[in-house]
């Protein structure tokens, strides 16, 4: 039987330093909740299941986690009496054998490979506990890994450490792997540590000394300090976002995306690009966006779906050209070689191959057939104040500038809509449709009108 790996994700801490009405772990990095990054790492490590330790009232976190397709079990911890206490709360959801890896929900850069490597290090050594250690520039508030004769003896929290211990540069990233069969014994051995203020705490880190006291092996694996970076406040969240953005851009540059000014491009963690995509400066790619090969997104374009309200995917197909200053929203689909130009907004709107909407247009709840042209200033009036209605435009249709298309509406293939028209009923294929107020022109009318207006303003003496 293959070894099972269960990830225990600790997220019940109060996260007060965020100063937020929302649980800390739902704050987003690259438009993905912090806890989502960690669960993604757990899945990448090959975890069979994740046990999420939450405080009461964190239903939104549980709902998010369940949507990820990993088997997630929830354990409640109340009150939060420390990391050891949090794992005790998860106890009856843990397997009797195999690997249990404890991770913190606020360390978004932890990688799946690292979790898997830590679990392997523990198994290979036959150890009860393996700790993921790191050597950051500033060991600051991290727990210190105390070694003797090359073997991990204990973890000492910074607050309890003497000067010599504080001088140790190797610290606890927070990730710990356990032999599931021996974890219960280690949890039973934890003694409460008296905190300076507030309730006593049970430290998960004390399992190391407890294992050594029983003559059980303990080991350390190391990671890049960035993987242990914890997000505790909004400053750290902003710093973490900057790190993530650099990584995402580097990834997509290596995958064949050109960026004229990478530092000005903002990307969601789930963005997907084909080859030979060009992103001009100041392009924003939010969640739920797929961009196929050869697409050019010109400067200052904004593409994003709007989860959780509307996460309908947004797709830009091969060779399309977007922007500058275009806005694409949930459910936008731009066909191969189609053009969406400046100040054009698409929401739940499909442009088929070769179609064009180049200037100052709103297309909502709408489809535009192949090679049709939507003139400048055209608006689909999709909302009547009560409900949204669709507009269907066929192939090779010519919509003149400044047309007002009142939905529900169907315009047949090859039809022609005159500039400035409003269209309130269906237009058959091949028909022309022109609807304008009758023009009125009068000889000398401009001067007469000017005199009238001046008199009315009381300025003619
Ligand atoms: C912890 C470690 C420290 C390590 C550091 C790495 C302990 C005692 N200390 O300290 O050695 O260097 O992380 O970042 O483990 N949580 C709960 N319930 C609780 C308390 C915490 O679920 O009762 C969760 C928090 O939501 C958080 C994680 O556990 O996700 C870590 O808690 P935190 O208080 O931030 O631990 P640190 O003091 O940073
Ligand atoms: Ca922390």
For residue 173, which atom of ligand 1 is closest to its CA? 6
108 Cβ below 6 A of ligand 1: no
Contact 297, 289 (CB under 8 A): no
Name the residue at shortest CA distance from atom 22 of ligand 1: 12
Q: What is the mean pLDDT of the chain?
A: 95
Q: How do strand 171-179 and strand 129-134 relate by DSSP bridges?
A: antiparallel
The question of whether 359 is a catalytic residue gets the answer yes
Q: How confident is the model at residue 3 (pLDDT cuts 50, 70, 90)?
A: confident
For residue 11, which atom of ligand 1 is closest to its CA? 26
Range of lowest pLDDT (132-141, 191-200, 205-214, 430-439) = 191-200
| CATH class of the domain whose range is 257-456 | mainly beta
- Which residue in 37, 266, 339, 359 is the catalytic one? 359
Closest Cα partner for 424 from 381, 459, 394, 461?
381
Ligand lying closest to the C-alpha of residue 133: 1
Cα 204 to ligand 2 centre (Å) = 13
Closest Cα partner for 269 from 27, 29, 25?
29
Instruction: Classify domain 5-228 at the CATH topology level.
Output: Spore Coat Polysaccharide Biosynthesis Protein SpsA; Chain A (3.90.550)
Report the distance separating Cα 395 and Cα 75, nearest Å: 56
**Who surrounds ion ligand 2 at CB < 5 A?**
230
Indicate the SS3 state at residue 187. helix
Whole-angstrom CA distances from 448 to 22, 349, 362, 370, 459 are: 65, 47, 38, 49, 15
For residue 171, which atom of ligand 1 is closest to its CA? 12
Ligand lying closest to the C-alpha of residue 90: 1
Q: Is residue 194's pLDDT more than 90?
A: no
230 Cβ below 6 A of ligand 1: yes
Non-local CB neighbours of 273 within 8 Å, separated by 6+ positions: 252, 255, 256, 257, 291
For residue 230, which atom of ligand 1 is closest to its CA? 14
207 Cβ below 6 A of ligand 1: no
pLDDT at 1: 43
276 Cβ below 6 A of ligand 1: no
Report the distance separating Cα 256 and Cα 370, nearest Å: 29
| SS3 assignment for 28-48 | EECCEEHHHHHHHHHHHCCCC
Q: Is residue 448's pLDDT more than 70?
A: yes
Non-local CB neighbours of 321 within 8 Å, separated by 6+ positions: 295, 296, 298, 338, 339, 340
Calculate what percentage of the chain has a pLDDT beyond 70: 98
Q: Is residue 276's pLDDT more than 70?
A: yes
Domain residue extents for the chain: 5-228, 257-456
pLDDT at 460: 55
Average pLDDT of the residues in 71-80: 94
- What is the CB neighbour count within 10 angstroms for residue 126? 10
Kindly report the pTM of this predicted structure. Answer: 0.88
Calculate what percentage of the chain has a pLDDT beyond 90: 90
Give the chain's length. 461
Closest Cα partner for 238 from 9, 27, 40, 39?
27
Please state the φ and ψ torsions of residue 104, each to the nearest 5 degrees: -100, 140
Which tokens belong to 438?
Answer: 């009758």
Report the distance separating Cα 48 and Cα 275, nearest Å: 34
> Which of 174, 201, 232, 237 gets mutated to test ligand 1 (max ligand atoms within 8 A of its CB)?
174
Q: Which residues pair with 258 in a beta bridge?
A: 278
């Amino acid at each position: 039987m293959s070894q099972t790996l269960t990830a225990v994700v600790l997220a019940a801490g109060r996260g007060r330093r965020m100063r937020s009405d929302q649980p800390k772990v739902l704050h987003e990095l690259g438009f993905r909740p912090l806890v989502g990054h960690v669960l993604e790492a757990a899945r990448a490590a090959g975890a069979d299941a994740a046990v999420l330790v939450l405080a009461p009232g964190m239903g939104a976190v549980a709902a998010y986690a369940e949507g990820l397709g990993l088997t997630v079990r929830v354990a409640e911890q109340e009150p939060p009496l420390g990391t050891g206490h949090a794992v005790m709360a998860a106890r009856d959801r843990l397997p009797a054998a195999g690997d249990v890896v404890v991770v913190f929900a606020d360390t978004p850069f932890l990688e799946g490979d690292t979790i898997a490597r830590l679990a392997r290090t523990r198994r290979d050594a036959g150890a009860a506990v393996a700790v993921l250690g790191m050597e950051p520039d500033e060991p600051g508030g991290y727990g210190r890994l105390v070694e003797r004769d090359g073997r991990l003896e204990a973890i000492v929290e910074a607050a309890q450490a003497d000067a010599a211990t504080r001088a140790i540069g190797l610290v606890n990233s927070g990730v710990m792997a356990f032999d599931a069969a021996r974890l219960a014994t280690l949890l039973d051995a934890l003694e409460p540590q008296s905190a300076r203020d507030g309730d006593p705490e049970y430290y998960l880190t004390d399992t190391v000394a407890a294992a050594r006291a029983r003559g059980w092996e303990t080991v350390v694996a190391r990671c890049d300090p960035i993987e242990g970076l914890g997000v505790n406040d909004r400053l750290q969240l902003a710093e973490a976002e900057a790190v993530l953005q650099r990584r995402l851009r580097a990834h997509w540059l290596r995958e064949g995306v050109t960026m004229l000014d990478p530092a000005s491009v903002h990307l969601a963690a789930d963005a997907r690009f084909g080859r030979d995509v060009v992103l001009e400066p100041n392009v924003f790619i939010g969640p739920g966006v797929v961009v196929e090969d050869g697409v050019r997104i010109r400067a200052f374009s904004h593409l994003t779906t709007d989860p959780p309200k509307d996460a309908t995917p947004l797709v830009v197909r091969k060779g399309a050209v977007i922007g500058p200053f275009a806005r694409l929203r949930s459910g936008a689909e731009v066909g191969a070689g189609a053009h969406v130009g400046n100040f054009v907004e698409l929401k739940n709107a499909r442009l088929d191959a070769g179609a064009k909407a180049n200037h100052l247009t709103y297309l909502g709840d709408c489809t535009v057939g192949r090679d049709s042209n939507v003139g400048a200033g055209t608006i689909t009036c999709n909302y009547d104040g009560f409900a949204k209605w669709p507009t269907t435009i066929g192939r090779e249709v010519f919509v003149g500038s400044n047309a007002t298309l009142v939905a529900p509406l169907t315009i047949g293939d090859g039809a022609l809509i005159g500039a400035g028209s409003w269209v309130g009923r269906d237009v058959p294929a091949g028909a022309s449709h022109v609807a304008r107020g009758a023009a009125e022109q009068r000889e000398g009318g401009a001067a007469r009108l000017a005199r009238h207006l001046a008199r009315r303003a009381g300025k003619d003496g």
